[in-house]
Amino acid sequence: MTLRFAAIGLDHRHVYHLVGGLIDAGAICVAYDPATSDHRVLAGFRERFPALPEVTDRRRLLEDPSIDAICIAAVPSDRADIAIAAMRQGKDVMVDKPGVTSPVQLAEIERVVRETGRIFSICFSERFVVPATEVAGDLIAAGAIGRVVQTLGLGPHRLNRPIRPDWFFDPARYGGILADIGSHQIDQFLHFTGSTDARIVSSAVGNVGTPETPAFQDFGEILLRSDQATGYIRVDWFTAHGLPTWGDGRMVILGTEGTIELRKYVDIDGRPGTDHVFLVNREGTRHIDGSTAPLRYFRNFIADVRDRTETAMAQRHVFTVSRLALEAQAAAQRLTLKPHDR
């Protein structure tokens, strides 16, 4: 079986990862719906995938029985409805994060998955398109740092305000900073610690540096715990323009016999390139170039569609990450930091 898929919802640049990852893994993109809230995303898609046909009536894609799956990177608040429509047409779905922006949407997605037996997969790109995370997972599985007891996840992003669409600044449409980019870090906490669930101990959000958009949340933090480990998460929109990439994403994994640090996108004062893995254990210190590690998510998703398995990611994991992110967002204390005198 060669998986045939279509793309609907070209509102976020992560659609490039979804479509490109599946094509690289051997799937065929049949067509895409060019509807978008950001013409720059559409222009970039056309540049990357010039041979793909456009279908302006998305119902044709949803109802086409030859299409196995739908990729979705729409405005976050719209993703659940598209996914539900696709699953009701017998299609599996791969959604950009966040896959849902409210508990009501999550409950409906869970109900439709139970009723249809379809796959609802969220591509947490800070794990699934980062080779360094594959290396870290393999090291942990091999016992390189003992039992994992804590993770520290940092997810800074560059704001790039002039190129952001209006919905980007509206929490009702993007879900809030913890439901959105915080979900990446919750996914990694559960994955690296081997936890099937967790509880939110505390969370906070704030607008501490962008007063011109007061509803926007530019900073967030979460403290969470499971029966396996504890974790701290910080996400923000303060990456400086001097950094040669969009964010200095880091993950520090503490084990009983060592630590792993991932510098995913840049080594700010050293080696060139991405996917730097630093290992410290009883054998010493080591730098590992993780950039050539194979990405497994997309090919595993294709296998899951074919075999009705859960090798890419357990369906329960998707729901748990989404629920915890929504709980953290709903319970978040609003930070009010006094500005410094200049």
Which phi and psi (to 5°) does residue 188 adopt?
-70, -35
The stretch 119-135 carries a mean pLDDT of 98
| Residue 302: pLDDT over 90 | yes
| DSSP conformational letter for 201 | E
Q: Give me the residue label for tokens 């410290």.
A: 280
- Among 269, 264, 28, CA closest to 129: 264
Interstrand relation of 333-335 and 199-206 (parallel, antiparallel or unpaired): parallel
Q: Where are the domain boundaries for CATH 3.40.50.720 in the chain? A: 4-123
Computed over every residue of the chain, the mean pLDDT equals 96
- Per-residue exposure over 29-63, b if at least 16 CB sit within 10 Å of its own CB, e if not: bbbbbbebbbeebbeebeeebeebeebeebeebbe
Q: Where are the domain boundaries for CATH 3.30.360.10 in the chain? A: 127-295
**Looking at the domain 127-295, which fold is it?**
Dihydrodipicolinate Reductase; domain 2 (3.30.360)
- Burial-class residue 205 by CB neighbours within 10 Å (0-12, 13-18, 19+): buried
Q: Give me the residue label for tokens 């013409």.
A: 39
| Residue 341: pLDDT over 90 | no
Give the model confidence (pLDDT) of 44-70 as tens digits: 999 999 999 999 999 999 999 999 999
Which phi and psi (to 5°) does residue 139 adopt?
-65, -40
| Residue 34: pLDDT over 90 | yes
pLDDT for 270? 80
Contact of 175 with 183, CB cutoff 8 Å: no
pLDDT for 1? 81
pLDDT for 232? 98
- Among 299, 325, 332, 331, CA closest to 205: 332
Cα separation, 223 vs 274, in Å, equals 28
pLDDT for 249? 94
Indicate the SS3 state at residue 285: strand
Q: Give me the residue label for tokens 């539900």.
A: 84
Residues above pLDDT 90, as percent of the chain = 96
Indicate the SS3 state at residue 190: helix
**Sign of the Cα pseudo-torsion (89, 94, 100, 104, in order):** positive
| DSSP conformational letter for 274 | S
Prediction pTM value? 0.96
Cα separation, 168 vs 176, in Å, equals 10
The stretch 85-107 carries a mean pLDDT of 98
pLDDT for 297? 98
Amino acid, single-letter form, for residue 226:
S
| Residue 217: pLDDT over 60 | yes
Number of H helices, E strands in the chain: 11, 14
pLDDT for 336? 83
To which CATH superfamily is domain 4-123 assigned? NAD(P)-binding Rossmann-like Domain (3.40.50.720)
Cα separation, 172 vs 188, in Å, equals 25
pLDDT for 268? 81
Give the model confidence (pLDDT) of 151-183 as tens digits: 999 999 999 999 999 999 999 999 999 999 999
- Among 251, 120, 267, 121, CA closest to 189: 251
pLDDT for 120? 98
Contact of 193 with 151, CB cutoff 8 Å: yes
**How many beta carbons lie within 10 A of that of residue 294, not counting itself?**
7
